[in-house]
A and B are shown apart, each in its own frame.
Chain A
Amino acid sequence: MPEMVLLGDEAVAMGALHAGISAAYAYPGTPSTEITEFLIQNSKKNNGPSAHWCANEKTAYEAALGVSFAGRRSLVSMKHVGLNVAADPFMNSAIVSIHGGLVLVVADDPGMHSSQNEQDSRYFADFARIVCLEPTNQQEAYEMAREAFDISERFHIPVMIRLVTRLAHSRSVVQLSEPRTENKLEKAPEPNSWILLPSNARNQWHGLLDTYKEMQQYSEESSFNPLTLNSTFTDYAVITTGLAKNYYLENVPDLNEQPSHLHISAYPFPAEKIRSLASSAKKILILEEGYPFVERFLRGILPNGMEIIGKESGEVPAEGELNPDNIRPALGLESRTGSPHPDMPLSNRPPQLCPGCPHADSFNALKMALSGYGKSMVTSDIGCYTLAALPPYSAIETTVNMGASIGMAKGASDAGYFPAVAVIGDSTFLHSGVSPLIDAVAHNTNMTLVILDNETTGMTGGQPTILPSSRLEKVVLGIGVEPEHVKLIEAHRKFDEENSKVIKQEIEYNGLSVIIAVRECVETAKRHKREGGQS
């Protein structure tokens, strides 16, 4: 059997390819980006299946739905907070009768390595009443991706695969199996199951609730939820989910006794198996990567008097990632020791804008422009420029979610704040900044928007922006920003003085202005040079 060394992300992508997908969609976001990077490379090399970056996660999801409606298999991937953007098509896609298999990969980021929160996507799967699979290693990532498509077509639901950063970005050998061919192009047989008028939707929801029982049965029988009972040791039993299993197994050699163990990687979780595990021991220890998802349910379903140890009881850390060490206290094991530290404080080394970054110059000009006002507000967004929150720039004051900078500056201005400035990157603007800008146009809000156009999606490694930089101005004009208040500047320090004047002038204008500060990201520029000038 052939084998490959793959990142967790790439293993999912490979699994999807071998499951016969016809298309894949995504918006880049750490730690999910490498899934689609891999599929795009593959598509170039092998002439398909098509793999595209989209304007945002919602549009990506909708495209995947279209593939399913046409009878073929599709993969849509995103980071956890991306699913908030795609929540509308996601929740409703559970109600339609999925035709060609549709698999959603969501990469969560416990520990917030590169994200603004650590929300656990299993709640979304539960909310939508669908199956979620959670691999613990690269091999499972490959196999589960394949199986997810079969489950999707069997139950006519989208299936979620939940990854976490440590698996997404860890590399290991994966054994591959025989690829499957693509589905026939054949529209969904009953269009009513895709027209969610209330009368149809009620039928569909009823059907989903019936199917949910079958999903529960699937989960009871699935080998993805292995239960091993040890009747000779009843002090406590262990439930693991996700990567917690690896950290647990890492510690098992140090335990005197082998507790009974249930690992859950297919949801809805197997209630019967949990009950048999519970009847085998006096206490249950629950180790979960993410929120105490299973734990909170169990506190409701286990017999009274059964002691449950986990995040809710405080023995397992409730924030951040699990690791082989922070679960040891819950297992009653001593902590391990490493090497001694020399007595010297270690300076932190936070990430920072690259030397020569165009954003640095834009922020200089912006700060100069704002220096004359006693007060100012700069709302910001998500991208490399978020790093301008740190010294020496300390130039921005908010980062909440994709696109929020513009709506927030509008709100602050409506509330009477002046001067209100929003900054947003080109890719984030096209992702979800256009709609709030339309709101600002509609009310000619007194605010200034600076689009930091580095001509790429910089933070995630330089994916092309969905529209070329040259089109940005037309987009802004097209939605009705007054042409005399749309200004293009070159984000370069040699123009700091001039640029700050332009910004100041537009701040002074009592209405909406948009300044597009253009210069290519230096990292992307370097890469383009290496690749011989093509973009």
Chain B
Amino acid sequence: MASIDIAPGAGTGAHPPGPIQRVTLLASLGWFAAVAILLFWQDLTFQPLVRELALVWGAVGGVLVVLGLGGNRLGRVGRWTAQRAPWLLAIGIGAAIWTVLTAKTGILPQPFFPTPQAMLEVFIYDWPKILHSTSFSVWLLAKGFFFGAVAGFLIGVGMGWSRAVSYWATPLLRYVGPLPATAWLPLAFFIFPSSGSASVFLIAFSTAFPVAVLTWSGIASVNRDYYEIARTLGASPLFLILRVAVPAALPHVFVGLFMGLSTSFAVLVVAEMLGVEAGLGWYLQWAQGWAAYANMYAALFVMAAMCSGLITLLFRIRDRVLVWQKGVVRW
């Protein structure tokens, strides 16, 4: 088992406990190189905010110098940089290459591939709109995901526990569940009073299906002995559901939640593009209408951050709730 363990920092130039992190210093050189290219290589066409961008990248390089020199003495921060130094270097070099390919040589044609300066411009001048769109999207997603997760969980528990519920719900789930939630979109926008509530429904729908199926299979696969032991110890049926069946099924439930969250992203973006007049999906659409390519990339960038942030959050919650699984299974 130890042989397949990936040691933290393996292949990342993890340092013996010397004070200076050489890779981190190298990363700062990468960023300074990007700054040099930005400032001393003539742009093909006029670019805004060259100095400001140079300042930002220079600051990153400066921080990396400090971190590299402080190195392992910085405790947690030091360990963090030590582990990610190769990535920090790669991103710096990436920034330099991006600048060369777009602003300096035009190998990637404008305006389809915006320059880094143009991206900075978007964030500086359009951040209120982006921020508002992001918070709108997160809120919409949160509502839909919450209702969908709760509904799916209850359906799954009901199906796993009661024959009657299972009898009626299984065919429905089999028949309707696999339908992509987006197929409901035209109808939902008619039936619901507002496009917002329609989107909440669609997101909830797409989340509920995998959560229900996995909760159900989780409860169905609980070891029978757990129930018998609990019953001899005086457990009531409610206790058996809440304290035996549900905790035993939780690892499955979380798999369902992960699947539900991933599909709900797709539904969210489509719903925002087609009906809701706000959110990152709508912002993307709007930017496309104006052929504002830099804004589209910015929206994609923020959207990726949002999705991965939410997935990470769900991972954190799972790690909290399922501590007992550590050591039972390999994470």
Do A and B share a complex? no
Residues on B facing A (Cβ under 8 Å) = none
